[in-house]
Amino acid sequence: MPRLDASARGVFIIAATPFTEDGRLDLAATDRLIEFYLEQGVDGMTILGMMGEAPKLTEEEARTFALHVLGRVDARVPVVVGVSAPGFASMRALGSVVMDAGAAGLMVQPPAVSARGDDAVLGYCRMVAETLGEATPWVLQDFPLVASVPMSALLIQRIVAACPNAVMLKHEDWPGLDKLSAVRDAEAEGARRISILTGNGGIFLPFELARGADGAMTGFAYPEMLVEVCRLFARGESEAMLDLFDRYLPLVRYEQQPGLGLAVRKYVLWRRGALACPATRDPAPKLTEASRAELDWLMRRLERSLEHQRKESVA
Amino acid sequence: MPRLDASARGVFIIAATPFTEDGRLDLAATDRLIEFYLEQGVDGMTILGMMGEAPKLTEEEARTFALHVLGRVDARVPVVVGVSAPGFASMRALGSVVMDAGAAGLMVQPPAVSARGDDAVLGYCRMVAETLGEATPWVLQDFPLVASVPMSALLIQRIVAACPNAVMLKHEDWPGLDKLSAVRDAEAEGARRISILTGNGGIFLPFELARGADGAMTGFAYPEMLVEVCRLFARGESEAMLDLFDRYLPLVRYEQQPGLGLAVRKYVLWRRGALACPATRDPAPKLTEASRAELDWLMRRLERSLEHQRKESVA
Amino acid sequence: MPRLDASARGVFIIAATPFTEDGRLDLAATDRLIEFYLEQGVDGMTILGMMGEAPKLTEEEARTFALHVLGRVDARVPVVVGVSAPGFASMRALGSVVMDAGAAGLMVQPPAVSARGDDAVLGYCRMVAETLGEATPWVLQDFPLVASVPMSALLIQRIVAACPNAVMLKHEDWPGLDKLSAVRDAEAEGARRISILTGNGGIFLPFELARGADGAMTGFAYPEMLVEVCRLFARGESEAMLDLFDRYLPLVRYEQQPGLGLAVRKYVLWRRGALACPATRDPAPKLTEASRAELDWLMRRLERSLEHQRKESVA
Amino acid sequence: MPRLDASARGVFIIAATPFTEDGRLDLAATDRLIEFYLEQGVDGMTILGMMGEAPKLTEEEARTFALHVLGRVDARVPVVVGVSAPGFASMRALGSVVMDAGAAGLMVQPPAVSARGDDAVLGYCRMVAETLGEATPWVLQDFPLVASVPMSALLIQRIVAACPNAVMLKHEDWPGLDKLSAVRDAEAEGARRISILTGNGGIFLPFELARGADGAMTGFAYPEMLVEVCRLFARGESEAMLDLFDRYLPLVRYEQQPGLGLAVRKYVLWRRGALACPATRDPAPKLTEASRAELDWLMRRLERSLEHQRKESVA
């Protein structure tokens, strides 16, 4: 499998980690989920991200899951593996196993406890770059809402300059549009170009593309929307892009609830037949009856809206 | 003017604080803005909230502004005044001046520095209740994204039980729907009922109403949408409510950017003719050219969508 | 080995995790360190705490280290094993292995990400209690400076009431003396009594004992001081207790530097011959030349002071 | 009065703000306190710092207090006035009044809400520099434990380079010794030299002086110790410096309790006759009976130790 590089673009779906009702890893359900994602046309896959409930797996489970996914995907698309960990020993161990098994690259979010202030974040990233090894491309995750590590455009530039194997930014700052522009502006003035895929459920995706993002790396439960938005943007059809995006926005917004969002995603994926079971592992907030009813309502409204659109485009 | 009580409902708009281009309070522009809000049908007004840039005013400016607004509104709707302050001396001073001048009530967000853990938050609220005086109704603001003070439904109940003059909750936790339900459930089991108005730009307003909220207290730049959503909900027209809401959601989402959101609101209010100048006071993030272009685009698309709707409803 | 219960008292030393210069676990050095601690008269040992660099071990290393320690200690004193982890799967896996191997109990610090607000912390602790099993005693760690999870005395009472297998509080809030008193006051009024051992390097130990603590659970590099302070307190020799404590306070204070403190401890343990190598695993702040010189100075001054005391007591 | 510049050194005591038992500003008590500080030999005074309970004063009270202090001190030592505020309007207003009245300089701590990440902190400081005016020297406060704004040595250099009127660093990071060295190292390589006074109650003062600090800016209730430590250091009497310092360390440590420390300081100042009343303004943690007894004990032990020292030095 070719390794990730700065030319990566499109939709790298953040894959859910399927569990059985009683909380065990469900590898059979994983196969079905992978095929679902591929059928929606994703360009890549990212596993063991926060949405993948990575921190709740034992290291053995993480390894088992990653190797299973790599085997099933079988190089049809590149697979990025999240290896964020409190210590480098775990990061190195998981990273080397999955790279040997064909992963395209790794992903790391610097943790607040080890990275307080720009210099400390930079120092941490240097150690990540060295720990993973110069031949291993990695994605710098920038998710301050959860990680509490602010990174300015200037800091990102410094990291990119110091770490030749950092080839992609998973951009999910909020607000983040002007920062994205600032990273691209710096590249226009000579900084090394990296791929930028954006997160946050895609809630700003159309604007992020216009600001210079190369696509999305997020786990919204309707990956086909993310894919189509990227295609429409590439074709220059901005109004059609927003027309499509806005139909899904009520669900994107509902999914974009810190902590609860993962249960929302899994529920929708389950309702869509992509997951055998919507269970999340404890500790995790659960969907109440009321939330499920709201989601059912939003899904019905989306279907109606898409139906309406189909009829209009036929007529 | 009647004082705020637990029966309050509808839309209390969080009013912007108008400045001139060079950063001075603009009282003439304030008059125009007040009339704009009233024309959109708001049921009340809240000034000197975070959106009102209250912390950036000197105490004299805050007093001047509040008294001016109270005079201009002239009891047409109730006015709530934000008095959050690091110390009780300032809170008491501003509070007593504005209550004497006809404010309907005051609003306070407990600060993280004085309120770490449930007991401390409760203790702080007791002191607020005593500082403001038993005859002064106040609104408990629950905005953890900015204030970093988590409040559970149980804590809110304890505060309500301990502070008879706390008559309203400004609910802007995120995620917050199940918490809102939990507060109402507790009331069903005997807790004193309070009014609940919700914030966060209204981004979950339709569901919050369904969960038991009495309306909105937020500053979205199209107050008429908030008003109409509340009306449609009251009439039981849920689908029509969402149809309307979803047209505005792209803008609601864009405005809902921490820090930057205020500049967005003021820009849209200015573009709508409600503000003479979109300036915010430093320190504050500013809108870039790119952001303004994105907002112009979203506003054009909203107008087109509303036009389309008008034609459809005529046809 | 008898299991931990609420009668536990004295000094449970938080044991360092020895590494070789190149970062591998050093089990031979571990044996020497264990004997050092036992020679100083500690009443128990806690491993894989934050000071033990637990998060930087792979799960396999953690298991190997814990089993090795349990074997070497061989029931001479009770051993508590830290099992804090982002997910319950890892917590359960490590916990059951070490309990089977003779650990006296486990220790858990609720994480901020899963426990925001009192109700959430309580809910988390209930899940911990169930995950570990009712037959497994555990220590609730309360270390808000690092974990950012504030716990009031009332919350601790609620946790104790809800979790019969929570038998000890590792108290390291700061300031924490009045909270410690409040926990004991609640017990005087009927709450179930738990053991309380205190942390923070022992910097408030004499007062904590006077407020009702049963001893210390911390890793200060001179465990004999902690042991002797507890003995003098038990004998009612308060002035002698402070006379002794204050001789060590300059070093206690120097060690009490967030992040850096672990490197300080390991350096002093190494200088004392208790550790074969002072290395800490990355990511971790390192001691500069200047810091080492300051520590050497403080150690010389301590030796001189102890020498002076010995002469005085002989005379 | 000469303005503050980078040559400032010695002890700038952070002055308490005296209140009456019922919470009013006590200007008569202020006079007594000022004389107390001057009698202890302080080289300067800083008012309206966090220890001065500045955020709990109304703006009018702050102005009244500052002008009163400036009048009473009457240029016997330079007075620095804390003007940290959420908005620049208040900062500018207070700053210009006190500079006109003879203040030597102002002090500002960048707030987390406006300054997330190095670039934002730098941007904030530029605005501060401009708001205060180029003729007004100011002190950059770096107190991350309370303000949650991390500043690296590199960031401090950037601020110093960008703000010619920033003449002093109030250094109270923790751990902070190596950072202090790094700031001085940068100066050795060409950065503009600033004065560095250190805070945190003086708990690391002897080492900070050795690392290049010019003195202390803190409010420990025995200012004479801070003064004498600086003198002994200047004379090269390192062992005597630590001998003296270590006698006070038990009290320094007790005072160094976040939130509670101010009540401790005021109590000790009151017991020493320097304050007419130990009251702090709500919201603030209060000293319990047990804490007061502990402080009385520590003060008795200090007196005994000093008495012992006097006898020894006579003998």
Q: Per this entry, what is the length of chain A?
A: 315
pLDDT of residue D1: 65
Burial of C156 (0-12, 13-18, 19+ CB in 10 A): buried
Kindly report the three-state secondary structure assignment for every residue of chain D: CCCCCCCCCEEEEECCCCECCCCCECHHHHHHHHHHHHHCCCCEEEECCCCCCHHHCCHHHHHHHHHHHHHHHCCCCCEEEECCCCCHHHHHHHHHHHHHCCCCEEEECCCHHHCCCHHHHHHHHHHHHHHHCCCCCEEEEECHHHHCCCCCHHHHHHHHHHCCCEEEEEECCCCCHHHHHHHHHHHHCCCCCCEEEECHHHCCHHHHHHCCCCEEEECCCCHHHHHHHHHHHHCCCHHHHHHHHHHHHHHHHHHCCCCCHHHHHHHHHHHCCCCCCCCCCCCCCCCCHHHHHHHHHHHHHHHHHHHHHHHHHHC
Closest alpha carbon to C266 in C216, C226, C220:
C220
Question: Is some CB atom of chain B closer than 8 A to the CB atom of C75?
Answer: no
pLDDT of residue B240: 98
User: How many whole angstroms separate alpha carbon B289 and alpha carbon B294?
Assistant: 9
Q: Please give the backbone phi and psi of residue A235, each rounded to the nearest 5 degrees, phi first.
A: -85, 0
Interchain contact, D119 vs A153, CB within 8 Å: yes
Within a domain: D277? no
Name residues whose C-beta falls within 8 Å of residue B202's C-beta, 6 or more positions apart in sequence.
B216, B218, B220, B225, B226, B229, B252
Kindly report the three-state secondary structure assignment for every residue of C279-296: CCCCCCCCCCHHHHHHHH
CA distance D202 to chain C (A): 12
User: Contacts of residue A291 in chain B, CB cutoff 8 Å?
Assistant: 177-178
User: How many whole angstroms separate alpha carbon D58 and alpha carbon B62?
Assistant: 12
3-state secondary structure of B141: strand
Within a domain: C243? no
The tokens describing A11, both together, are 């939709």
Name residues whose C-beta falls within 8 Å of residue D88's C-beta, 6 or more positions apart in sequence.
B56, B281, B282, B283, D127, D128, D131
Interchain contact, A116 vs D154, CB within 8 Å: no
Q: Please give the backbone phi and psi of residue A63, each rounded to the nearest 5 degrees, phi first.
A: -65, -50
User: How many whole angstroms separate alpha carbon C20 and alpha carbon C27?
Assistant: 9
Regions of chain A where pLDDT drops below 70: 1
Q: Nearest residue on chain B to A305, judged by CA atoms?
A: B243
Q: Is the dihedral of CA B1, B4, B7, B12 positive or negative?
A: positive
Half-sphere exposure of C193 (CA within 13 A, CB side): 12
Within a domain: B242? no
Give the helix/strand (H/E) hosting C92.
helix C88-100
Beta strand ranges found along A51-128 (DSSP E): 79-82, 105-108
- Does residue B1 carry a pLDDT above 70? no
Q: Which chains touch A (3 or more CB pairs under 8 A)?
A: B, C, D
Q: Nearest residue on chain D to C239, judged by CA atoms?
A: D301
Within a domain: D3? no
Question: Is some CB atom of chain D closer than 8 A to the CB atom of C123?
Answer: no
Domain hosting C38: range is 10-236
The percent of residues in chain C predicted with pLDDT above 90, rounded, is: 92
pLDDT of residue C1: 65
Q: What is the dihedral of CA B163, B168, B173, B175, to 10 degrees?
A: 110
User: How many whole angstroms separate alpha carbon B9 and alpha carbon B226?
Assistant: 12
pLDDT of residue C113: 83
Within a domain: D4? no
The tokens describing B183, both together, are 């507060």
Within a domain: C286? no
The residue-averaged pLDDT of C247-266 equals 97
Q: How confident is the model at residue C313 (pLDDT cuts 50, 70, 90)?
A: confident
Cβ proximity of D71 and D54 under 8 Å: no
Interchain contact, D175 vs C290, CB within 8 Å: no
Q: How many domains does chain C have?
A: 1
Q: Please give the backbone phi and psi of residue B6, each rounded to the nearest 5 degrees, phi first.
A: -70, -5
Higher pLDDT, D221 or D309: D221
CA distance D250 to chain C (A): 7
The percent of residues in chain D predicted with pLDDT above 90, rounded, is: 92
Q: How many Cβ atoms sit within 10 Å of the Cβ of residue C20?
A: 13
What are the tens digits of pLDDT across the range B116-147? 889 999 999 999 999 999 999 999 999 999 99
- Average pLDDT of chain C is 96
Interchain contact, A175 vs B250, CB within 8 Å: no
User: How many whole angstroms separate alpha carbon A210 and alpha carbon D113?
Assistant: 29
Interchain contact, B88 vs D113, CB within 8 Å: no
Closest alpha carbon to D157 in D137, D136, D179, D176:
D179
Question: Is some CB atom of chain D closer than 8 A to the CB atom of A150?
Answer: yes
What are the tens digits of pLDDT across the range C200-256? 999 999 999 999 999 999 999 999 999 999 999 999 999 999 999 999 999 999 999
Cβ proximity of B5 and B252 under 8 Å: no
Cβ proximity of A294 and A264 under 8 Å: no
Within a domain: C221? yes
Within a domain: D273? no
The tokens describing D181, both together, are 């060295």
User: How many whole angstroms separate alpha carbon A287 and alpha carbon A265?
Assistant: 11
pLDDT of residue B314: 84
What are the tens digits of pLDDT across the range D80-123? 999 999 899 999 999 999 999 999 999 999 998 887 889 999 99
Q: Please give the backbone phi and psi of residue A171, each rounded to the nearest 5 degrees, phi first.
A: -95, 110
To 5 degrees, how large is the angle CA D221–CA D226–CA D227? 120
User: How many whole angstroms separate alpha carbon C29 and alpha carbon C16?
Assistant: 11
Question: Is some CB atom of chain B closer than 8 A to the CB atom of A211?
Answer: yes
3-state secondary structure of C30: helix
Q: Nearest residue on chain D to C175, judged by CA atoms?
A: D257
Question: Is some CB atom of chain A closer than 8 A to the CB atom of B291?
Answer: yes
Burial of B290 (0-12, 13-18, 19+ CB in 10 A): middle
In sequence order, which ranges of C189-273 are alpha helices (DSSP H)?
A: 205-210, 223-234, 238-255, 261-271
Cβ proximity of D109 and D78 under 8 Å: no
ipTM score: 0.97
Q: Nearest residue on chain C to B123, judged by CA atoms?
A: C152
The tokens describing D186, both together, are 């940068």
Beta strand ranges found along chain B (DSSP E): 10-14, 44-47, 79-82, 105-108, 138-142, 166-171, 195-198, 215-218
Beta-carbon contacts below 8 Å between A and C: 67
User: Contacts of residue A123 in chain D, CB cutoff 8 Å?
Assistant: none
User: How many whole angstroms separate alpha carbon C51 and alpha carbon C17?
Assistant: 8
- Average pLDDT of chain B is 96
Bond into D175 cis (ω within 30): yes
User: How many whole angstroms separate alpha carbon B30 and alpha carbon B102?
Assistant: 18
Residue D131: which CATH number?
A: 3.20.20.70
The residue-averaged pLDDT of D204-218 equals 98
pLDDT of residue A186: 97
User: How many whole angstroms separate alpha carbon B21 and alpha carbon B8?
Assistant: 36
Q: Which chains touch C (3 or more CB pairs under 8 A)?
A: A, B, D
- Does residue B71 carry a pLDDT above 80? yes
What are the tens digits of pLDDT across the range D155-210? 999 999 999 999 999 999 999 999 999 999 999 999 999 999 999 999 999 999 99
User: How many whole angstroms separate alpha carbon C131 and alpha carbon C123?
Assistant: 12
Interface test with A, best of B248, B257, B305, B306 (most A CBs within 10 A): B257
Q: Which residues of D243-262 are buried (b: 16+ CB within 10 A; e: fewer)?
A: ebbbbbbbbbbbbbbebbbb
Cβ proximity of C216 and C202 under 8 Å: yes
